[in-house]
Amino acid sequence: MTIRSKLTLQFAVIFSFILILFSVFIYVFVSLYQERDFQQNLKNRANIVAHVYLDANQVSQETYRKILRQYNQSLPYEIVNVYDNTGKLVFQEGEGRLPVSKEILSALQQNIEVMQLVQGRQLVGVPYFDAKNKKKYLVIASSIDANSRQQLRELRLILSFGCLIAVVIVLAAGWVFARQALRPITKVVQEVEKISASDLHLRLTDSVGKDELSHLAHTFNKMLDRLEQAFAMQKTFISNASHELRTPLTAMIGELEVALMKPRAAHEYERVLHATLNEAKLLTQLSNGLLQIAQASFDISKIELKKVRFDEVVFLASEEVKKRHRQAKIDINFENLPEDESKLFCKANESLLLIAFINVFENACKFSPPEGLISATIHVTPAQLQLRVQDRGVGIKNEDLQHVFVPFFRADNVRDISGHGIGLPLAEKIIKLHQGTIQINSALHVGTEVLISLPAAF
């Protein structure tokens, strides 16, 4: 069942339920009102009969005629009985026998008015005291409320047909209303169907309003932004990775083909083997980098975390980089060293965090002059531990900054510097794995600043 059909059906069911409840309320209210009105008429008739029968000799002619005129306005199938206090029938008006039980007479003898429905007839009983004879009489009037029954049947018919017609109208109106309400969704679906992998630049149009559908369109557009960025990064990754992997393989194949063209001396073969070995080591480094990136993409819950001192990991990374790059000069400073050493701890995997810091330091060293100074500053806040690494190297172009975290991406101005474009992407994945952030600010021919923030361990 479509959403449109569901909305129409639900709308009709809710409206029909309310309408039926309202109709039942009207019917019951009218029925009770007519019943009370009819019972009051019977009570009045019982009192009239009592006056006519017991007080006829004591009233004037004019009063007597008035009573008779009222009495002649008889009710349908009316029967009126008058009993003395012992329960003996002393007067009867109307055709037929009135079913009067001993319980009714007993209640009247105790001066309790009776109003009952007996065998489909409304029955009203009232006690009457004759002041002249000082006797109490029991007057019972009964009738069938035929008019009310007919009116109730007509009311049921009117309400039933009214509800049926209203439901039909509601179904038609609900179908139109559902179509109108779902029109924006239909438009969204049609626009989404036009978007494919080659058309990720397209966006949904109804994303400016403040209703739920506009919010959905806006959310979908943001998802498309992320998908477009991911596809662009994937294309860049494939392009750069294939280039980086093809270079050593091409060099190896070229060296081996040249060596096999004709017999050569032993030192020539030795040279070819050394060159091939270097290229194989380069491929190994690339493979290890890819493996580390894959490991850094694991779920944080699957990696063992413990409290480690942030500053100690920074110093370890600095020492390791100095071993690899003898000319590296790294100056580490505290911007605000806390008195409480416990504020220097963060929850992390020490080996992964060390790899991230080493990659950041190595990047700064590679793209700085041989004698350039690398500045590392540790800043501590109540909620975060921060490391700011600054170099005075070649810098990065603004258009290249958005690609620095794409594996194997290398800017045009650093193509002649050895590297594979793995360090920063790996560092970013490790930092994100630790619920931290990494930001890069750079200016061409001025230098680059890398800011790493990790949540403090509480």
Alpha helix stretches (DSSP H) within 194-208: none
For residue 217 the two structure tokens come to 């369109």
Lowest mean pLDDT among 131-145, 198-212, 284-298, 349-363: 284-298
Close Cβ partners of 56 (under 8 Å, ≥ 6 residues apart): 64
In CATH terms, the fold of domain 300-455 is Heat Shock Protein 90 (3.30.565)
For the chain, give the percent of residues with pLDDT over 90: 6
**pLDDT tens-place string over residues 17-69:** 888 888 889 888 888 887 788 777 777 777 776 776 666 544 444 554 455 45
**pLDDT tens-place string over residues 200-237:** 777 777 666 676 777 777 787 888 777 777 776 666 65
Distance CA 19, CA 29 (A): 15
Give the chain's mean pLDDT. Answer: 77
Distance CA 343, CA 385 (A): 9
3-class DSSP state for residue 452?
A: strand
- The partner residues of 261 in beta bridges, in order of sequence, read none
Identify the CA nearest to 102 among candidates 87, 92, 90, 89. 87
Q: In the chain, where are the structural domains located?
A: 3-151, 194-296, 300-455
3-class DSSP state for residue 177?
A: helix
Identify the CA nearest to 206 among candidates 223, 186, 177. 186
3-class DSSP state for residue 196?
A: coil
- DSSP structure class, residue 391: -
CA distances from 324 to 225, 257, 313, 320, 327 (A): 40, 34, 17, 7, 9
Alpha helix stretches (DSSP H) within 387-440: 398-401, 423-433
Close Cβ partners of 248 (under 8 Å, ≥ 6 residues apart): 279, 280, 282, 283, 286
| Confidence label for 454 from pLDDT (cuts 50, 70 and 90) | very high
What are the backbone dihedrals phi and psi of residue 209, each rounded to the nearest 5 degrees, phi first?
-70, -175
pLDDT of residue 234: 66
For residue 392 the two structure tokens come to 């005075």
pLDDT of residue 453: 93
For residue 220 the two structure tokens come to 């979908």
CA distances from 146 to 34, 153, 159 (A): 11, 11, 20
Distance CA 78, CA 125 (A): 14
Q: Residue 333: which H helix or E strand, with range? A: strand 329-334
3-class DSSP state for residue 447?
A: strand
**pLDDT tens-place string over residues 230-275:** 776 666 656 655 655 666 778 788 888 888 888 888 888 888 888 8
Architecture of domain 194-296: Orthogonal Bundle (1.10)
3-151 placed in CATH 3.30.450.20: yes
Q: Provide the b/e sequence for 405-432 (b: ≥16 CB within 10 Å).
A: bbbbbbbeebeeeeebbbbbbbbbbbbe
Close Cβ partners of 29 (under 8 Å, ≥ 6 residues apart): none
| Cα 289-295-301 angle, rounded to 5 deg | 160
The pTM assigned to this predicted structure is 0.46
Whether 123 has a pLDDT exceeding 80, the answer reads: yes
pLDDT of residue 295: 58
Residue given tokens 């413990």 in the structure block? 306
Distance, C-alpha 340 to centroid of its chain: 44
Distance CA 120, CA 100 (A): 13
Per the CB < 8 A criterion, the answer to whether 96 and 132 are in contact is no
